[in-house]
């Protein structure tokens, strides 16, 4: 019998999508088991994963730079290390596992983890972001599935597997930490809209963050940075210059917290510029500013080839001669805001600079810069005038002002006492849901048992009340085994079975 054109054909399902669904299934099994772990067991797993992360910090720093072509190995190693044990240490007293009993308010609060987290990671900070989101998920008893940027998929896949192995060795259920092998826009969009994903942690480009917010699932996203840094005449100009240049040179400015536009007053401009040169910055002439603008912002849009590259490399590409030891390129400009592309976010060691006649004018300039991009994110202040620091912070639409510290490290919590983070919440100013540095507390909600406030109604005695949680040795056995993970490039039996079943459903669809 001849086949008809409208006869059903064998439709081979998308293997990447099928694998992604399997990862969600494994994560669901794992998180249900992990939600029963007590705090000691959770901390044991987190510490073991932090140690595995720390031990591989150097190797993954080298791998990330090699794979993405962005950043500085030494600085990526430091970021990786800071996202391991120091991150766990910061939250060591944050108990997100045990119930809270408030006798005075006659209230009991029970922690409820989110469940399955879909975590997007950028090419600029791939491993440190993966480390950071993994620790946050573990401390809050959640499972995490990573969707890495395609430019950093190999190092992220390997790192996720390493951390998963360390977690399992410490007693965690298999499937808590997974990574998409071949990320693509359609696949990520499908995952973001999956009803089995409870929350999305979106770090990356604005388009991807907006997609996360419009997915229909809860999302915590971050907006772009564009930090203005003001240097007051009361500051030690040489020290401020040193901090700013070191911040711009740190990992070639791939952190969104790096300074973007330098603002000074006319009275301290020359002294500040001497400090900048002494710290290793090249200050452009008017002609060089024109060359830099043309190369860095062709047709008004950022040349992404500059992201994460060194100051020397960028200067060479723009046709500017600099000494080999140059750490940052300073571009003095007359205009700012929408009229000057160099005052937009750059993610490279190029710093626009402007000089104005008064402090009030400096505040206005910072506001105009943030109005273009960077609202809700960060700014920096250098000076010894507390009133001006307060006025500067009060006037700007940002949620963190770094004072007398490098903004790259300071706003991320590595040179200040802010929470260490690779997700900088931009809040309502930046059209985000959270305005602080994201931590594990944002991945847990609490059920509250609230007693009658009438003093005549007694509150319960919880001294002998059983809490439904336990470590890996004490929890009830789970009857359903965890789905097997795919091994290597070959197809595992579970995936093959799912593919065959899906093909059969397609063949029999519409037939009686």
Strand partners, 113: 444
Decide if 155 is catalytic.
Answer: no
Measure the CA–CA gap between 35 and 138, rounded to whole angstroms: 10
Query: DSSP assignment, residue 477?
Result: P
* Catalytic position from the list 36, 156, 256, 284: 256
CA dihedral 179, 180, 181, 186 (to 10 degrees): -160
CA dihedral 241, 246, 249, 251 (to 10 degrees): -150
* Residue closest to 255 by CA, chosen among 86, 107, 129: 129
CB atoms within 10 A of CB 21: 19
The token pair at 55 is 């031990």
Q: For 373, how many CA atoms within 13 A lie in the half-sphere containing its CB?
A: 19
CB atoms within 10 A of CB 136: 27
* Residue closest to 215 by CA, chosen among 231, 197, 240, 233: 197
Q: For 458, how many CA atoms within 13 A lie in the half-sphere containing its CB?
A: 3
Measure the CA–CA gap between 265 and 263, rounded to whole angstroms: 7
Measure the CA–CA gap between 113 and 31, rounded to whole angstroms: 9
Buried b / exposed e along 23-57 (16+ C-beta atoms within 10 A): bbbbbbbbbebbbbbbeebbbbbbbbbbebbbebb
User: Which residues carry out catalysis?
Assistant: 256
């Amino acid at each position: 019998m001849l086949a008809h054109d409208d006869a059903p054909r064998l439709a081979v399902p998308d293997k990447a999508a099928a694998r992604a669904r399997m990862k969600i299934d494994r994560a669901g099994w794992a998180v249900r088991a992990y939600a029963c772990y007590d705090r000691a067991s959770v901390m044991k797993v987190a510490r073991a994963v932090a140690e595995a992360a720390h031990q591989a910090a150097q190797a993954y720093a080298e791998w990330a730079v090699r794979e993405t072509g962005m950043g500085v190995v030494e600085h990526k190693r430091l970021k990786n290390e800071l996202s391991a044990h120091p991150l766990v240490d910061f939250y060591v007293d944050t108990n997100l596992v045990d119930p809270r009993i408030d006798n005075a308010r006659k209230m009991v609060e029970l922690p409820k983890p989110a469940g399955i987290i879909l975590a997007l990671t950028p090419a600029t900070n791939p491993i440190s972001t993966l480390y950071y989101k993994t620790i946050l998920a573990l401390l809050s008893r959640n499972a995490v599935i990573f969707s890495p940027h395609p430019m950093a998929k190999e190092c992220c896949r390997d790192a996720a597997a390493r951390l998963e192995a360390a977690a399992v060795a410490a007693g965690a259920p298999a499937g808590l930490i997974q990574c998409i092998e071949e990320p693509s826009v359609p696949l990520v969009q499908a995952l973001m809209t999956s009803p089995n994903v409870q929350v999305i942690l979106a770090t990356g480009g604005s388009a991807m963050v907006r997609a996360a917010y419009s997915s229909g699932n809860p999302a915590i996203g971050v907006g772009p940075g564009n930090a203005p840094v003001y240097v007051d005449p009361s500051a030690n100009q040489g020290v401020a210059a040193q901090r700013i240049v070191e911040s711009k040179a740190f990992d070639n400015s791939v952190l969104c917290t790096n300074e973007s536009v330098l603002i000074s007053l006319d009275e301290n401009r020359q002294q500040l510029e001497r400090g900048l040169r002494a710290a290793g910055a090249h200050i452009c002439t008017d002609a060089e500013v024109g060359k830099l603008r043309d190369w860095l912002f062709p047709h008004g849009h950022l040349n992404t080839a500059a992201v994460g590259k060194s100051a020397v490399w960028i200067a060479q590409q723009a046709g500017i001669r600099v000494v080999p030891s140059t750490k940052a390129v300073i571009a003095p400009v007359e205009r700012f805001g929408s009229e000057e592309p160099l005052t937009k976010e750059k993610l490279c060691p190029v710093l626009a600079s402007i000089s104005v006649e008064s402090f009030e004018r400096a505040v206005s300039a910072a506001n105009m810069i943030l109005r273009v991009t960077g609202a809700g994110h960060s700014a920096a202040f250098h000076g010894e005038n507390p009133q001006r620091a307060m006025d500067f912070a009060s006037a700007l639409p940002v949620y963190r002002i770094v004072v007398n510290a490098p903004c790259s490290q300071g706003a991320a919590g590595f040179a200040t006492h802010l929470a260490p983070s690779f997700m900088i919440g931009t809040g309502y100013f930046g059209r985000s849901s959270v305005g602080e540095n994201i931590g594990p507390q944002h991945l847990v909600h609490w059920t509250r048992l609230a007693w009658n406030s009438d003093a005549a109604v007694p509150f319960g005695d919880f001294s002998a009340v059983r809490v439904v949680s336990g470590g890996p040795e004490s929890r009830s056995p789970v009857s359903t085994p965890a789905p097997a993970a795919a091994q290597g490039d070959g197809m595992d039996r579970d995936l093959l079975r799912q593919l065959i079943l899906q093909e059969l459903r397609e063949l029999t669809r519409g037939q009686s």
